[in-house]
Amino acid sequence: MGKRSFEILDVTLRDGSHAMKHAFTEEQVRETARGLDQAGVTYFEVTHGDGLGGSSLQYGLSAVDELKLIEAAVEECKSSQVSVLLLPGIGVKEDLQEAVKVGAKMVRVATHVTEADVAAQHIALGRELGLKTIGFLMMAHMAPVEKIVEQGKLFESYGAEVVYVTDSAGYLLPHEVKERIAALKNELTCEVGFHGHNNLSMAMANTIAAVQAGATYIDGSLRCLGAGSGNTQTEVMVAVLERLGYNTGIDLYKIMDVANDVVAKYMHRPQEVTGSSLIMGYSGVYSSFLLHTQAAAQKFGVDERDILVELGKMKAVGGQEDLIYDVAQRFALKKSSLV
């Protein structure tokens, strides 16, 4: 097929963990991994939605130990390689070492967009372990372009081989993605990537903007399975980018088959732009807050949209899930005082 124009990295088995309430079974992981491998996907990610070590009461307990799922995915691959996500403070260096023992070949070290400095030792360890090592700047809408460039340079100085603009809230619009990707391309010598969420129905347009601005790593999930309204839809992305004249290196029919014959059957619900996820994109709220917010709204009898708008005003970030319940309780108290 010739040289690929870029790498499409599939995150169904990691970002999709949020939508699946972290309840992937080993068989679901094996079937999905097998399909991704047969379709020609070079890298795909397998971990708890919040990365290595994410299984907890705060973030949600995994039904199956993630090392077992990583190992199962690796066993199904003839050519694909398995990536893991690591958020410093949630996952620790020992978690990464254990993931490598069961076959992980890539690590994406994720920090808030202004906190790349907390990842220096994790990036260094990734390189030391021989992994493809990536820096992931989350909630990229929350910092100006100059700050993103500054933080990207830090990641590169620590040894990151790719730096990602991560639209964790699905808040960015195409011109904003283009501006951020282009700035990193101009200022860094390493490669640049983009990870989008579809809360404003912009994920595909944003991904195209990223590619046109020079991104060489782009993320997708099968059937959009991911936090909030999900990610750029992998199988649709392949078709769109091939139509635009790019070589994805992925077999369209085979990637459609794993999306429709495997993933669609185990999804808890269709991935749609719904009232709550739309408000997440509009307010700039972390996409993985969706299910937590719905649970809090039900518990306290308040409108989940009010919670999300307030979290947006507070500029809440990943790791602050406890704020969701604080805000819900505050709205409930206010509501009862008006009765």
- Can you say which residues are annotated as belonging to the binding site? 14-15, 168, 195, 197, 286
8 Å CB contact between 133 and 107 = yes
- Residue partners of 193: CB distance under 8 A and separation at least 6: 9, 134, 162, 163, 164, 165, 210, 215, 216, 217, 218, 219
Instruction: Say which of 18, 22, 112, 122 is annotated catalytic.
Output: 18
Tokens representing 52 are 């290595």
What residue numbers does the annotated binding site for Mn(2+) cover? 15, 195, 197
What residue numbers does the annotated binding site for substrate cover? 14-15, 168, 195, 286
| Residues 72, 226, 283: CA angle, nearest 5 degrees | 150
**In the chain, which ranges are E strands?**
7-10, 43-45, 81-86, 106-112, 132-138, 162-166, 191-195, 217-220
112 an active-site residue?
A: no
Q: What are phi and psi of 220, to 5 degrees?
A: -150, 165
C-alpha distance from residue 252 to each of 89, 200, 233, 329 (Å): 38, 26, 13, 47
Phi and psi based region of residue 287 (left: phi greater than 0; alpha: psi -120 to 50; beta: remaining)? alpha
DSSP state of 47: S
Query: CA 233, 239, 242, 247 torsion: positive or negative?
Result: positive
8 Å CB contact between 61 and 91 = no
Kindly list the catalytic residues. Answer: 18
